[in-house]
Amino acid sequence: MLKLNRLFFALWPGEAERRACDEAARELRLKMQPGGYLSSPERYHITLLFLGDTVSPESEAAALRAAAKVRAAPFALNLELASSFRANRKIPWWLGSRETPPGLTQLYERINEAMLAARVLPERMKFVPHLTVLRDARIPLPATPIRPVAWNVDEFVLLRSRLDQKPMSYEILGRWALDGTDEPPAPAQQQLGLF
């Protein structure tokens, strides 16, 4: 039997972004009375690439090595819209952008390419960037403008879902800066003496 090891790459907001998203979620809940429960701000994230529920230790190590080679520029992400997905009877509400920034699409593509090159096969899912703020709503949320949350994205992380903890939490296994370069860093050059 395979051991549970749920891993995914994500954007991990800072404290200011978490507070702003939490405020937006509370305002929406107060106004719309959807039932359900608010997500904990400590767990806010935007999933980039889901690696699976039973990632082996070898694949986890390969994913960490491959992620260190990903190069992309930082980018601005504005969350200015709230909406929902219909998932069976449970309806999650989320915050997102009207248009996905090119930098976010590029980061997703580069992480995906790095995983495939490392033979770490991610789960095939449509890339729909969103930050879940409420779960199990009784009603769907039509696209609703919110006070924009400005987020300067300058890193990505690899997270493990800690389903063994109550309440469930996320463990950061690695974090990588978006340093603005497209190429991996050159190896340190040795100083050569002249003879």
9-47, pLDDT tens digit by residue?
999 999 999 999 999 999 999 999 999 999 999 999 999
Q: Please, what is the average pLDDT of the chain?
A: 90
pLDDT tier at 186 (50, 70, 90 boundaries)?
Answer: very low
Residue carrying the six token digits 């924009």: 148
Q: How many helices and strands, by DSSP H and E, does the chain display?
A: 3, 9
Domain range list for the chain: 7-177
pLDDT of residue 187 exceeding 80? no
Q: How far apart are CA 129 and CA 81, in angstroms?
A: 12
Here the tokens at position 4 are: 């549970």
pTM: 0.88
DSSP string spanning 54-112? Answer: B--HHHHHHHHHHHTT-----EEEEEEEEEE--BTTBEEEEEE-SS--HHHHHHHHHHH
SS3 103: helix
Q: Which pLDDT does position 88 carry in this prediction?
A: 61
Contact present, 104 and 154 (Cβ < 8 Å): no
Nearest to 110 by CA among 78, 151, 154, 156: 156
Phi and psi dihedrals of 118, rounded to 5? -90, 5
Residue 110: Cβ within 10 Å count? 18
Q: How far apart are CA 56 and CA 63, in angstroms?
A: 10
Q: Which pLDDT does position 167 carry in this prediction?
A: 80
pLDDT tier at 181 (50, 70, 90 boundaries)?
Answer: low
Q: Which pLDDT does position 166 carry in this prediction?
A: 78
pLDDT of residue 194 exceeding 50? no
For the chain, the residue count is 195
Residue 104: Cβ within 10 Å count? 21
Task: Give the pairing type, strands 144-153 and 155-162.
Answer: unpaired
User: Per-residue pLDDT tens for 105-152?
Assistant: 999 999 999 999 999 998 888 899 999 999 999 999 999 999 999 999
User: Per-residue pLDDT tens for 1-18?
Assistant: 568 899 999 999 999 999
DSSP string spanning 136-186? Answer: EESS----EEEEEEEEEE-EEEEEEEETTSSS-EEEEEEEEE--S-SSPPP
Q: Which pLDDT does position 3 carry in this prediction?
A: 82
Q: Which pLDDT does position 169 carry in this prediction?
A: 87
Query: What's the CATH code, domain 7-177?
Result: 3.90.1140.10
Intra-chain end-to-end CA distance of the chain, in Å? 63
